[in-house]
C-alpha cells in the first residue's frame, strides 16, 4: 500500500469500515511512514474535537408535549376506509360498463336476427327497445294463447 | 414499566394495536439522538426541539407504513433528515427572498447548548469546529454527523440516506479532510495575528 492509497483509506479505517486484512496492511504502513502517521494523528485530533462538542438534551417534558399533541389528533384507525370506498366505486363502474356492453351485444344479436327475418338490417337498437319488443312478443304470445284458449273453449262449448 | 424492556418493533405493534401511550417509550428512547442530529444540522437548539417534536408526530403518523425489520432507527432518522433538510431549504428561501427584496435578514444567533464551564481556549476551539461543520456541504455534513455523533455504520447511513457505501465513504472522508484543512488554516492565521500583535 502506498502513501496515497493509505491516506485515501484513513477515514474509513478510523470509522472501522475496513476489513481485517486491509486494516493490518494500513497499520503496517503507518508504523513505517512518519508522514502518514502525522496525517493519521490529524484525523484523531479532529474526531476527538467533534465528539467533544455538546448537544442539547431534550427539554424537560419533551415526550409529554409530543404525546399531548398526538392526543389532539383524531385516531386514524380507519384510514383504509377511503381507499376501500374508492376501490368499490371503481369496481362498480367497471361492472356497470361490462353489463352495458353485454346488453349492447345482445341487442346487436337480436337486431341481426330480426333483420335477417325481415330482410331489412337493423344496425342499432336500444336496450329498452329490445325489452319492449320482447315484452310485446310475450304479450302477443299470451294474447294468442288466451285467444286460443278462448276460441278452444268456445269450440268445446 | 415492563413495556420499556420491549424492542422497538414490539412497541410499534402495541401502538398500532391501540396502545398509543406506548409511543412515549420510543420518544424517550430516541429524542436525545434526534435532537442531537437536528441541532448539529441547523445549529439552533430551540428550533431543534421544535423540529424534533414535529419529527415524532410524523413518525407516529407513518408507523403503519413501517416494515418491521428491527431497523426503526433508520426509519426515524430518514424522517428526521428529510424534515431538517426541508427546514433548511425554507430558511434558504427566506434569506434569498429577503435579499431580493432588499430587506435585512437577521439570521438567528447560533444557539448551542449552554456548555459546561471550560477554559476559553477550549471554548474557542469548539466554536471553530462548530463553524466549520456548518460550512460543510449538506451531504457531507449529514454523513459526518450520522457517523461521528450518532455512531451509525456506513450500512445504516445507507439505509437512512439511500446513498451507496462508496459515496458515503467519499463524503465522510472529504468532510474530514476539509475540516482538518480549514481548522489548520484558521489556527495558522490566528497564530500569525497573535505574533504580529506581539511584535
CATH number at residue B168: 1.10.10.10
Q: For A116-130, what is the mean pLDDT?
A: 56
B119 in the same domain as B153: yes
- Contacts across the A-B interface (CB distance below 8 Å): 106
Beta carbons of B35 and A67 less than 8 Å apart? no
Res. A157 pLDDT band, cuts 50 70 90: very low
How far apart are the two ends of chain A, measured CA to CA in Å? 124
Q: For A144-156, what is the mean pLDDT?
A: 49
B91 in the same domain as B149: no
B176 in the same domain as B146: yes
CA atoms of B89 and B100, how far apart (whole Å):
16
Residue that the C-alpha cell 459526518 belongs to: B144
Beta carbons of B21 and A49 less than 8 Å apart? no
Cβ contacts (< 8 Å) between B129 and chain A: which residues? 49-50, 53
Cell of B153: 455504520
HEC profile of B95-122: HHHHHHCCCCCCCCCCECCCCCCCCHHH
| Structural domain that includes position B151 | 115-199
B44 in the same domain as B109: yes
A113 bridge partner residues: none
B124 in the same domain as B95: no
B45 in the same domain as B93: yes
Domain boundary among B86, B113, B140: B113
What are phi and psi for residue B159, nearest 5 degrees?
Answer: -65, -35
pTM of the model: 0.67
B72 in the same domain as B137: no
- A115 contacts: CB under 8 Å, gap ≥ 6: A121, A122, A123
pLDDT digits (tens, 9 = 90+) for B75-125: 999 999 999 999 999 988 887 777 777 765 555 544 454 445 567 777 777
- Cβ-contact B75, B84 below 8 angstroms: no
Beta carbons of B52 and A70 less than 8 Å apart? no
Reported ipTM: 0.78
B10 in the same domain as B104: yes
B124 in the same domain as B84: no
Secondary structure of residue B59 in the 3-state scheme: helix
Domain boundary among B90, B113, B136: B113
- Is residue A47 pLDDT above 90, yes or no? yes
- Is residue A153 pLDDT above 50, yes or no? no
CA atoms of B64 and B86, how far apart (whole Å):
23
Burial per residue of B133-148, b for 16 or more beta-carbon CB atoms within 10 angstroms, e otherwise: beebeebbbbbbbbbb
More confident residue, A91 or B1: A91
B10 in the same domain as B98: yes
CATH number at residue B8: 1.10.1740.10
Q: How far is B44 from chain A (nearest CA, A)?
A: 10
Beta carbons of A46 and B153 less than 8 Å apart? no
- Is residue B189 pLDDT above 80, yes or no? no
- B47 contacts: CB under 8 Å, gap ≥ 6: B87, B108
Q: For A51-64, what is the mean pLDDT?
A: 86
- B145 contacts: CB under 8 Å, gap ≥ 6: B37, B40, B41
- Is residue B4 pLDDT above 90, yes or no? no
Domain boundary among B113, B142, B163: B113
Q: How many domains does chain B have?
A: 2
CA atoms of B110 and B119, how far apart (whole Å):
20
Q: What is the pLDDT of residue B91?
A: 86
Q: For A149-154, what is the mean pLDDT?
A: 49
Q: What is the pLDDT of residue A154?
A: 45
Cβ contacts (< 8 Å) between A51 and chain B: which residues? 148-149
CA atoms of A107 and A125, how far apart (whole Å):
6
For residue B65, give the DSSP letter.
G
B92 in the same domain as B1: yes
Amino acid at each position: 500500500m502506498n502513501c496515497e492509497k493509505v491516506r485515501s483509506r484513513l477515514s474509513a479505517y478510523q470509522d472501522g469500515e475496513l476489513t481485517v486484512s486491509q486494516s493490518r496492511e494500513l497499520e503496517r504502513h503507518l508504523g513505517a511512514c512518519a508522514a502518514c502517521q502525522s496525517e493519521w494523528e490529524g484525523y484523531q485530533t479532529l474526531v476527538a474535537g467533534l465528539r467533544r462538542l455538546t448537544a442539547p438534551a431534550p427539554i424537560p417534558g419533551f415526550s409529554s408535549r409530543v404525546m399531548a399533541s398526538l392526543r389532539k389528533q383524531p385516531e386514524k384507525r380507519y384510514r383504509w376506509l377511503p381507499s376501500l370506498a374508492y376501490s368499490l366505486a371503481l369496481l362498480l363502474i367497471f361492472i356497470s360498463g361490462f353489463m352495458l356492453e353485454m346488453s349492447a351485444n345482445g341487442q346487436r344479436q337480436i337486431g341481426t336476427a330480426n333483420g335477417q327475418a325481415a330482410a331489412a338490417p337493423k344496425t342499432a337498437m336500444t336496450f329498452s327497445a329490445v325489452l319492449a319488443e320482447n315484452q310485446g312478443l310475450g304479450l302477443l304470445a299470451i294474447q294468442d294463447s288466451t285467444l286460443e284458449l278462448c276460441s278452444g273453449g268456445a269450440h268445446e262449448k | 414499566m415492563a413495556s420499556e424492556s420491549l424492542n422497538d418493533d414490539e412497541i410499534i405493534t402495541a401502538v398500532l394495536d391501540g396502545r398509543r401511550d406506548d409511543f412515549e417509550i420510543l420518544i424517550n428512547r430516541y429524542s436525545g439522538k434526534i435532537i442531537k442530529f437536528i441541532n448539529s444540522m441547523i445549529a439552533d437548539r430551540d428550533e431543534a426541539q421544535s423540529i424534533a417534536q414535529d419529527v415524532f408526530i410524523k413518525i407516529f403518523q407513518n408507523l403503519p407504513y413501517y416494515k418491521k425489520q428491527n431497523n426503526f432507527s433508520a426509519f426515524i432518522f430518514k424522517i428526521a433528515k428529510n424534515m431538517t433538510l426541508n427546514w433548511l431549504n425554507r430558511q434558504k428561501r427566506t434569506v434569498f427572498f429577503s435579499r431580493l427584496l432588499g430587506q435585512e435578514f437577521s439570521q438567528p444567533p447560533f444557539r448551542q447548548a449552554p456548555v459546561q464551564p471550560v477554559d476559553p481556549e477550549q471554548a474557542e476551539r469548539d466554536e471553530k469546529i462548530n463553524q466549520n461543520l456548518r460550512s460543510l456541504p449538506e451531504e457531507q455534513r449529514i454523513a459526518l454527523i450520522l457517523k461521528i455523533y450518532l455512531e451509525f455504520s456506513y450500512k445504516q447511513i445507507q439505509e437512512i440516506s439511500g446513498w451507496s457505501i462508496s459515496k458515503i465513504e467519499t463524503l465522510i472522508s472529504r468532510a474530514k479532510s476539509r475540516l482538518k484543512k480549514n481548522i489548520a488554516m484558521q489556527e495558522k492565521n490566528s497564530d500569525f495575528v497573535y505574533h504580529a500583535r506581539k511584535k
